[in-house]
């Protein structure tokens, strides 16, 4: 089955780079649908990754010398919002928001436990729109990306949402939300969602994006006050500080293993990488490090 990106490109609704439509490895629905709090009017947020042409990943193949001259522009991400698709969902229509990363960028963000990206590997199976062998390789690795570095990442994102929740000068739809509920309930639910997810990671080494959907729905309906959200977040922060110290997760990602995963995926797609990567013998590498 073709990807959503390919379908939209074939119908002329988007104009991505020429290589992209046929090289998407993974796509999944994100946003309110993935978290189990969507309505009939919710946009369809799609996250995923692709494998660009070889010279984008290994620029030396195109003659580029790092640090010399003007570097060529390489693909990192294709992002486009508010794509109106009248024929989607059996003719009901919907609006798509696309974020398709280069596999290198995507794996790097997952390794960092970036909250916007790591979630996309933990979506329910009914949210996965398109997956290839390479997509499966990375999705099956998802729990091994998790490490204790998630706490500062998720805390930073959560408190960014908390700050936005408190803003007194919203615009557009945000203004309507604040006028209806007295504060921005959408930002509020993201605060709770992010801290809940971080707790799952630290305590269980896993994420169930829909576990607390009833709590999130109540927040979006305005049934939880702004002060209650702030009190809850303060209490949860104290709990998470303790859970961070008690967590059995590794302190940081296993970068060599993630690198090998990435190379395995690229080899699955391109074939042999002998002209791209030279594997250095461990003893030689150690001698180089000592010399440096």
Please give the structure tokens belonging to residue 49.
């990754």
- Average pLDDT in the 117-136 region? 97
C-alpha count within 13 angstroms, C-beta hemisphere, residue 282: 1
pTM of the model as a whole: 0.90
Please say whether the dihedral angle defined by the alpha carbons of residues 235, 237, 241 and 243, taken in this order, is positive or negative. positive
Quick: pLDDT tens for 80-103.
999 999 887 777 888 999 999 999
In the predicted model, is pLDDT for residue 150 greater than 80?
yes
What are 244-290's pLDDT values in tens digits? 999 999 999 999 999 999 999 999 999 988 877 766 555 656 676 77
Can you tell me the distance from the alpha carbon of 81 to that of 95, in angstroms, rounded to the nearest whole number? 8
What is residue 264's predicted lDDT score, i.e. its pLDDT?
A: 96
The b-or-e profile of 197-211 (16+ CB within 10 A means b, else e) is bbbbbbeeeebebee
Residue 128 pLDDT greater than 60, yes or no: yes
**Which range has the worst mean pLDDT, 66-80, 141-155, 196-210, 255-269?**
66-80
């Amino acid at each position: 089955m073709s990807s959503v990106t390919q379908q939209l490109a074939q119908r002329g609704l988007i104009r991505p780079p020429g290589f992209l439509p046929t090289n998407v490895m993974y796509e999944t629905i994100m946003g309110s649908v993935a978290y189990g709090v969507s309505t009939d009017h919710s946009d369809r947020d799609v996250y995923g990754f692709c494998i660009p042409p070889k010279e984008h990943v290994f620029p030396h193949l195109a003659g580029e010398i790092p640090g010399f001259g003007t570097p060529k522009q390489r693909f990192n991400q294709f992002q486009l919002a508010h794509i109106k698709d009248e024929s989607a969902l059996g003719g009901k229509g919907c609006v798509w928001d696309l974020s398709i990363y280069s596999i290198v960028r995507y794996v790097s963000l997952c390794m960092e436990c970036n909250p916007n990206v790591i979630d996309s590997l933990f979506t329910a199976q009914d949210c996965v729109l398109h997956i290839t062998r390479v997509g499966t390789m990375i999705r099956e690795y998802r729990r091994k990306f998790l490490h204790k570095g998630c706490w500062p990442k998720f805390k930073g994102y959560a408190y960014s949402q908390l700050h936005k929740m408190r803003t007194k000068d919203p615009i557009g739809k945000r203004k309507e939300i604040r006028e209806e509920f007295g504060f921005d309930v959408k930002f509020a639910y993201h605060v709770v969602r992010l801290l809940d997810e971080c707790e799952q990671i630290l305590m269980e080494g896993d994420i169930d994006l829909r576990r607390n959907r009833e709590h999130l729905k109540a927040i979006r309906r305005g049934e939880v006050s702004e002060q209650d959200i702030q009190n809850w977040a303060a209490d949860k922060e104290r709990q998470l500080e303790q859970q961070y110290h008690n967590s059995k997760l590794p302190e940081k990602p296993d970068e060599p293993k993630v690198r090998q995963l990435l190379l395995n995926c690229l080899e699955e797609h391109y074939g042999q990488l002998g002209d791209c990567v030279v594997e250095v013998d461990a003893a030689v590498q150690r001698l180089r490090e000592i010399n440096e």
